[in-house]
Amino acid sequence: MDAIDKKLLQLLQADTKKTTKELSLKLNLSVTAVYERIKKLEREGIIDKYVVLLNRNKINKGFVVFCHLKLLQHTKEFINQFEKEVVKLDEVLECFHVSGDYDYILKICVKDMEEYREFMVTKLTTLQHIGSTHSTFMIGEVKNTTSFTL
């Protein structure tokens, strides 16, 4: 990956709707050269996928919860079963297996506290092998980016 690839990736991370012509003008390359570089970055897996980022407040998912979760045991069976089930929960946007006092941290986005309570009671706590949970609620967002500096 050279400097031009890095600049191209910065431009794409900022706005993937830019045409190859617009990108070529910014990079002083031909449209074909930009297209070929993008295809190469996709083949190499550097570009993983293209997505649309939604404003969670506009779709009534502005209540953000970080739920720290402990499993009853750390057996492979318990871990696999929990992970298989948690990925099916639409309210969970991110789930990380972590070290420390808890086993997992979940980022959950719902409408409000009432919807979170309903989620906890009817979905999360019905999963097998959960020992305990600890919820932290977002007060304000200081930084939220999907862009890497290269």
pLDDT, tens only, 58-97: 999 999 999 999 999 999 999 999 999 999 999 999 999 9
Phi, psi of 124 (to 5 degrees): -65, -50
What 3-state DSSP class applies to 67?
A: strand
Mean pLDDT of all residues in the chain?
A: 96
pLDDT of residue 127: 93
Closest C-alpha among 105, 141, 99, 134 to residue 120: 134
Q: In this predicted model, what pLDDT tens digit does every residue of 8-62 receive, in sequence order?
A: 999 999 999 999 999 999 999 999 999 999 999 999 999 999 999 999 999 999 9
* Residue 103 near residue 70, CB atoms below 8 Å: yes
